[in-house]
């Protein structure tokens, strides 16, 4: 039988490279795609994969995809905020499964509009196969049976000093200082990106980290998936307290309309983050706190945490896409249709695709 073809769009990017390095170990024909021939070729040579120059905005994108005819396409070329579904729609036309690592709130939520077309083409179209909402919802699902009634979900991610790629940076900058709605005390309330700074104490060696509001898919998906919750909050931050607080200050410039957006400054901020990286922490962390009533109708609080050392944290957003691609490769998923990445993977399936990483997870 011919090995299955997997094409990773943005395959030599920050997260794409990690996804490709993992999938290069599997029984598949791997295509590393992006707009730069040299970057694709360099990584393809290292991994024993195929390089592919592909611009998803080019008029002949669909024709090129039809020519390669992948079995699975993994889309990492964000930012996803404001993108339409032309890549997923092209996959449906070509008859290939589609997975992305999107963090755009509307993008992940509204992927279901492709459901009928994906079912008709007998393909799986999955959005948000990343930390949010794939891992976050898998954690909530795992502990749901501990609760007679789940009242609130409060979760957060604090990265280490290693900066993400430009697409992630631009995605985050798009909502710094901007108003968005959050489900709080049983009503939709307006909050502002990168404001309402809180601290969360993770186990040593991470310790205290500052976290601020982020506009992410979970804010819409969780109140719908867990209808008893009266509040869903998500915050993120970086290892440097000074960077978190500086971004908080910039958020006021946008909120007070002194600046329209921080997106034009993303490249400069990315450069600065790269310069200061050696001074910062190699540890990143994630937590999910659930409150409600336990089976004895007593107030109950659980905090799950994940700590990643040795700069291994940036692998985590890649895990769900890798795990899902492997399930499809191995014929372990028969489901078709278009959906956010929830209920398709367990916590254990998500956290184990790359062995020997400095990761630990437990209840705090």
Using CB under 6 A, list all residues that contact ligand NAP: 9-10, 12-16, 34-36, 39, 54-57, 76-80, 101-103, 128, 130-132, 164-168, 171, 317
- Shortest reach from residue 258's CB to ligand NAP, in Å: 26
Residue placing its CB nearer to ligand NAP in the complex, 54 or 263: 54
Tell me the two tokens of residue 216.
Answer: 């992410």
**Phi–psi pair at 53, nearest 5 degrees:** -85, 115
Residue placing its CB nearer to ligand NAP in the complex, 174 or 231: 174
Residue placing its CB nearer to ligand NAP in the complex, 147 or 222: 222
- Shortest reach from residue 155's CB to ligand NAP, in Å: 11
- Shortest reach from residue 169's CB to ligand NAP, in Å: 7
Tell me the two tokens of residue 39.
Answer: 């970057």
DSSP assignment of 233-293 equals EEEEEES-HHHHHHHHHHHHHHHTTSSS-SGGGHHHHHHHHHHHGGGS-S-EEEEEEEEEE
Residue placing its CB nearer to ligand NAP in the complex, 300 or 324: 324
- The whole-angstrom separation of Cα 138 and Cα 346 is 5
Tell me the two tokens of residue 287.
Answer: 């937590």
- Shortest reach from residue 79's CB to ligand NAP, in Å: 5
- Shortest reach from residue 171's CB to ligand NAP, in Å: 4
Residue placing its CB nearer to ligand NAP in the complex, 160 or 164: 164
- Secondary-structure breakdown of the chain: helix, strand, coil percentages, each rounded to the nearest 5: 40, 30, 35
Residue placing its CB nearer to ligand NAP in the complex, 171 or 177: 171
- The whole-angstrom separation of Cα 22 and Cα 325 is 11
- Shortest reach from residue 7's CB to ligand NAP, in Å: 11
Angle at CA of residue 234, ends 232 and 239, nearest 5°: 160
């Amino acid at each position: 039988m011919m090995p299955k073809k997997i094409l990773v769009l943005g395959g030599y990017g920050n997260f794409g490279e990690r996804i490709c390095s993992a999938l290069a170990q599997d029984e598949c024909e791997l295509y590393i795609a992006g707009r730069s021939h040299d970057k694709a070729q360099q990584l393809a040579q290292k991994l024993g994969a195929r390089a592919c120059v592909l611009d998803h905005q080019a008029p002949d994108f669909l024709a090129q995809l039809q020519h390669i005819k992948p079995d699975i396409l993994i889309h990492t070329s964000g930012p996803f905020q404001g993108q339409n579904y032309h890549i997923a729609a092209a996959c449906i036309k070509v008859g290939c499964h589609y997975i992305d690592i999107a963090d755009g709130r509307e993008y992940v939520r509204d992927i279901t509009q492709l459901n009928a077309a994906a079912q008709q083409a007998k393909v799986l179209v999955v959005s948000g196969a990343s930390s949010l909402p794939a891992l976050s919802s898998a954690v909530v699902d795992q502990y749901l049976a501990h609760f007679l009634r789940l009242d609130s979900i409060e979760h957060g991610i604090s990265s280490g000093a290693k900066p993400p790629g430009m697409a992630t940076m631009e995605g985050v900058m798009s909502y710094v200082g901007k108003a968005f709605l959050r489900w709080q005390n049983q009503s939709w309330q307006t909050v502002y990106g990168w404001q309402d700074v809180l601290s969360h104490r993770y186990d040593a060696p991470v310790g205290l980290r500052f976290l601020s509001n982020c506009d992410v898919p979970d804010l819409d998906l969780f109140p719908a998936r867990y209808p008893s919750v009266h509040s869903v909050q998500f915050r993120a931050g970086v290892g440097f307290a000074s960077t978190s607080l500086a971004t908080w200050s910039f958020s006021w410039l946008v909120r007070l309309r002194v600046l329209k957006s921080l997106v034009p400054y993303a490249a400069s901020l990315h450069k600065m983050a790269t310069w200061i990286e050696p001074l910062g922490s190699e540890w990143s962390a994630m937590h999910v706190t659930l409150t409600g009533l336990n089976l004895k109708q007593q107030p109950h609080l659980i905090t799950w945490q994940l700590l990643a050392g040795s700069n291994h944290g940036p692998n985590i957003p890649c895990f769900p896409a890798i795990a899902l691609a492997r399930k499809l490769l191995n014929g372990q998923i028969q489901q078709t249709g278009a959906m956010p990445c929830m209920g398709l993977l367990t916590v254990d399936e998500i956290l184990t695709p790359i062995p020997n990483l400095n990761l630990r997870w437990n209840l705090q």
